[in-house]
Structure 1
Amino acid sequence: MPIVIGVDLGTTKITSIAVDTQTGVLVAIGSAANDGRVTATADAARGHSEWDAKQIIAASCRCLAQVAEQLGNHVGEVIGIGVTGQQHGMLLVDSHLNPVSPLINWQDRRALEMCPEGDKTWLQSAREAIGNEAWKRTGCWLQPGFMAVTLYELAKRRIVPEGARALFIMDYFTAVLTGADPVTEPSCAGSSGVFHAPTRNWDDQAIKALGLSRDWFPPILEADQQAGTLTDEYANKTGLPAGIPIFAPIGDHQASFLGSVADPTNTVLVNVGTGAQVAMFTEGLDFVPPIELRPFPVKGNLLSNVGLAGGWSYQVLEQFFGDVGKQLFHVPSTEKLYNVMNELAAAIPSGADGLRCEPRFSGTRLDPTVRGSITGLSPQNFTAGHLCRAILEGMGRSLYEGFLAIQQINRAKPTLLVAAGNGLRENPLLAEIVSRAFGLPMLFTRHREEAAFGAALVACVGTGQFDSLEAAANRLIVTSPDPKFSVC
């Protein structure tokens, strides 16, 4: 049986899966914690987020080695590798692919620090430089943690080494495995803030306006194009055969959509992890902020509403309850409280007896200074269960409002609602609330690793197993209303 591998370089976890190209069944899986964070304590307090790229690569290779070991005698049937990973952030490398900076990832908030002049932040300065109309070409507003914003600050401070190139972590991983010159792909480049959506290439006007060098950015290939083949060195490190084709790496948001949605024209995807997103496919270029236009692999785009209230909002409440136990009752929590919180919330009627929460505790995509609110408090609804219910309903409302903003652009009336991310799979009450808000039954894939599966589908098409990504998804993705129906 022909087998393809998908690798997802996530922020908290790295995953590699092997997929049977005839059935879509996962025949092997490897995972490892992403323990590459190296941010100094003082810098972390300022919102910096720095990671050791070499440690991430080493963990990713261990995942591939796990897959190779599980495949055993079938390892010779691997015909291609697809790669995805966290978007927006960047690292600098020299001409020999040696990192000359840490990976400054998407969580980094140094762009919100004041410029030396003291009258604006780095983000405000970058937005002014690029101009108010740039988003119409690039598909998004500049945000903290974006490659272009981080590069802008580094360039202004004159700490970009001579001859350096800026890569996404999945670009770096692919180049290391193949030994070839680094490349990127539209769904990755689109997260930089300086991508030209109409031509699916770098936006030279935006790059020049920010005072950046065009030489810092790698060439762009489409996802089904081969970036190189696995070298002998990394064949030995992973246990996979040398010479396996590796395809241009894709962004994890698009990979999750690709790995979850079998019918892109009639489906809305809701993804709840630490954050939350709503997305729909479009063949057009029309969009209005806060919606972002994100390039889809090979062709088309996603209309994406990102930065919505996700699992982190529920985590804030869980931490609050833990703090109450510790501070008031001197009983530190040794276990997560989510199961108890869900039980309490399920006992509260819909509407939480008038208690309403807007769980935007860390701001919105357009305004990071926005904060959450809790209103409608009364003696009757000021309980732990009501708070849990109100936050879950606020998360569901945020997702549905995100969809309505997309619908105003494309006028679509999807018939399918597909879930991605463990925030919905592991919380049946939240899934029920979201399903009710959308007025559609929620469907789950039979595999949890949606992004890695999407990367594997890229390899399916790149190796000629399918003519298109849509054909591969339609054949290999299986969904059910039951989140536990066939986890593999």
Structure 2
Amino acid sequence: MKYVIGIDLGTSAVKILLVNQQGEVCKEISKPYPLIIEKSGYSEQNPEEWVEKTTAGLAELIEHFDGDVNDIEGISFSGQMHGLVLLDQDKEVLRNAILWNDTRTTEQCKQIYEAVGKQTLLEITKNPALEGFTLPKILWVKENEPEIYQRAYTFMLPKDYLRFRMTGNMHTEYSDAAGTLLLNVAKRKWSSELLNLFEIPLKLCPPLVESHAYVGTIQSEFASQTGLSEATKVFAGGADNACGAIGAGILKDGKTLCSIGTSGVVLSYEEKNDLDFDGKVHYFNHGEENAYYTMGVTLAAGYSLSWFKDTFFKNEDFDELLKDLNQVSPGSNGLVFTPYIAGERTPYADSAIRGSFIGIDAAHEKKHFVRAVLEGITFSLNDSIELFRSSGKSIDSIISIGGGAKNEIWLQMQADIFNSKVEKLNNEQGPGMGAAMLAAYGSGWFTSLKDCADVFIQSAKTYDPIPENVKVYKEIFAVYQQVYSQTKSLNDQLKALRK
């Protein structure tokens, strides 16, 4: 039996999957690492933590592997997007990585719009200037840490730095590069126009390859630390959302994904590079060659539920928290929650907005609040689905993965709110499986990612929308959509009071 390894470098942990030729997960290892939050709005990590925890995780996996390590033919990666890792000429890290959820760069986003213009930026990058992207981070370092910027030889994205430490070779690939705000998404090359405008040398940008591209083998030191064979082939990998799409089989037109993790994503496959969403949704290169995807984001999806549990019911697990969901009818007895507790991305791109419970009544109990939180998260994701539909896309089947696919009532709620068939996968492993599929394809097991998906991915259950619930949720969603505009000025006034 042959195997591949998928490594998902997330925000809170690295997840490592050993997968065989039937797409079965034979072993799974997860190793957490901390965030570094020096002040409000900052979010950093030490890249060495990624390397140490991945090394330890691979060593643990190999220690418990019964087969021949030479049968592990390939490794590929999924990684948190947008993060900035700066290296000097000796390929040493210059500072902590600035992560996707760092919001210190509001001023740099304004500078980008002033220098480029919103329309030109959208024509080149297909995306608006948002704090999470990489270019604003580079400009922040250039302005606030000039001595570090002067020493910078190249920038890397998180998973690309990890792969560099394993192989000694520097690359990035199109799906992750699309999240830097420096890639010409349609032309699939670094934008000389943007680089020249901001006086960023092209040499700062790593070489571009396909997500399934072979980029080297394991270095001897890394092989000795982990037990892997030095002959193990390494493939470039993809951005976490692209890999999540691959791992869910979103590989042809008409396929849509709903992924609920810390943040929430609605992602739809696109064959064309010239669609115009006016920057209201993200538009990125896919991990599949010459393909694209559009994506709406809820910043605090699963995080809203975790926040609610940890704040009010810290000693309960999620099963206990959700056990009475079926006792509450759709609409939570007139209680509406907006999951803007960390700002919002789609459709508002507003870092100052904050969450609300609207309609609190003395009759409301814990179970009503819990259901309202789940409904609010799903309403926010539905904002993205409605944007796609308004552009002419047909969305009648959605694959649900992540935390939102772990509870049957929530899955039915998604079908009802989205007014769409919702599918749960038989063995859902998210971006890590997408990374493993890129390694399988790169290793020559399949002639295409689609062929790989036919073997690796099966549907477990389908949830159809219930007409009476659809009707109720349409009415409530109309109320939900008013909350943002009704509370925006209030939250702007409260911003100064936040610490």
- TM-score, with length taken from structure 1: 0.88
Is residue 271 of structure 1 aligned with residue 259 of structure 2? yes
Letter in 2 for 1:214: L
- 1:176 pairs, out of 133, 143, 165, with 165
Q: Distance in 2 between matches of 1:445 and 1:66?
A: 28
Q: Distance in 2 between matches of 1:308 and 1:233?
A: 39
- 2:338 pairs, out of 358, 365, 376, with 358
SS, match of residue 14 in structure 1: strand
**How far off its partner does 1:38 sit?**
4.1
SS, match of residue 455 in structure 1: helix
Cα contact 1:92–1:166 (8 A) shared by 2: yes
Is residue 453 of structure 1 aligned with residue 425 of structure 2? no
Within a 5 Å distance, the mapping from 1:132-281 to structure 2 comes to 132-133=118-119, 134-157=121-144, 158=146, 159-180=148-169, 182-261=170-249, 264-281=252-269
- 2:387 pairs, out of 401, 405, 419, with 405
**How far off its partner does 1:183 sit?**
0.4
- 2:108 pairs, out of 113, 116, 122, with 122
Cα contact 1:104–1:145 (8 A) shared by 2: no
SS, match of residue 29 in structure 2: strand
Counterpart residue number, 2:470: none
Cα contact 2:94–2:152 (8 A) shared by 1: no
Q: Distance in 2 between matches of 1:482 and 1:219?
A: 42
Is residue 479 of structure 1 aligned with residue 459 of structure 2? yes
Cα contact 1:187–1:295 (8 A) shared by 2: yes
Counterpart residue number, 1:486: none
Query: Would the alpha carbon gap of residues 262 and 207 (structure 1) be closer, same or farther in structure 2, given more than 3 Å must change?
Result: closer
Query: Would the alpha carbon gap of residues 341 and 71 (structure 1) be closer, same or farther in structure 2, given more than 3 Å must change?
Result: closer
**How far off its partner does 1:163 sit?**
4.6
Cα contact 1:309–1:399 (8 A) shared by 2: no
**How far off its partner does 1:58 sit?**
1.1
Letter in 1 for 2:281: I
Counterpart residue number, 1:377: 360
Q: Distance in 1 between matches of 2:351 and 2:371?
A: 25
Give the count of matched residue pairs.
454
Q: Distance in 2 between matches of 1:357 and 1:262?
A: 30
Deviations 1:78-130 (A, max 9, x none): 11111111111111112332111111111212214xxxxxxxx2332233223
Deviations 1:35-86 (A, max 9, x none): 4x344xxx2x332112111121111111222222232333211111111111
Range with bigger deviation, 465-474 or 263-272: 263-272
Could you tell me which runs of 5 or more consecutive residues in structure 2 were left unpaired when the two chains were aligned: 464-499
- 2:96 pairs, out of 91, 98, 102, with 102
SS, match of residue 100 in structure 1: coil
Letter in 2 for 1:474: D
Letter in 1 for 2:199: G
**How far off its partner does 1:192 sit?**
0.7
**How far off its partner does 1:292 sit?**
0.8
**How far off its partner does 1:476 sit?**
1.4
Q: Distance in 1 between matches of 2:410 and 2:393?
A: 26
Counterpart residue number, 2:78: 84
Query: Would the alpha carbon gap of residues 203 and 234 (structure 1) be closer, same or farther in structure 2, given more than 3 Å must change?
Result: same
Q: Distance in 1 between matches of 2:460 and 2:250?
A: 12
**How far off its partner does 1:203 sit?**
1.6
CA-based RMSD? 2.1
Q: Distance in 1 between matches of 2:40 and 2:53?
A: 27
**How far off its partner does 1:155 sit?**
1.2
Letter in 2 for 1:287: D
Query: Would the alpha carbon gap of residues 34 and 447 (structure 1) be closer, same or farther in structure 2, given more than 3 Å must change?
Result: farther
Q: Distance in 1 between matches of 2:109 and 2:86?
A: 20
Counterpart residue number, 2:373: 391
Letter in 1 for 2:297: V
Cα contact 1:276–1:308 (8 A) shared by 2: yes
Query: Would the alpha carbon gap of residues 389 and 163 (structure 1) be closer, same or farther in structure 2, given more than 3 Å must change?
Result: closer
Cα contact 2:421–2:462 (8 A) shared by 1: no
Letter in 2 for 1:341: L
**How far off its partner does 1:337 sit?**
5.2
SS, match of residue 152 in structure 1: helix
SS, match of residue 32 in structure 1: strand
Q: Distance in 1 between matches of 2:369 and 2:45?
A: 36
Give aligned-pair identity as a percent: 23
Range with bigger deviation, 254-263 or 454-463: 254-263
Counterpart residue number, 2:33: 34
Q: Distance in 1 between matches of 2:63 and 2:28?
A: 10
- 2:52 pairs, out of 58, 62, 71, with 58
Q: Distance in 2 between matches of 1:215 and 1:284?
A: 29
**How far off its partner does 1:468 sit?**
1.3
Query: Would the alpha carbon gap of residues 443 and 69 (structure 1) be closer, same or farther in structure 2, given more than 3 Å must change?
Result: farther
Cα contact 1:100–1:161 (8 A) shared by 2: no
Could you tell me which runs of 5 or more consecutive residues in structure 1 were left unpaired when the two chains were aligned: 113-120, 323-332, 484-488
- TM-score, with length taken from structure 2: 0.86
Is residue 316 of structure 1 aligned with residue 326 of structure 2? no
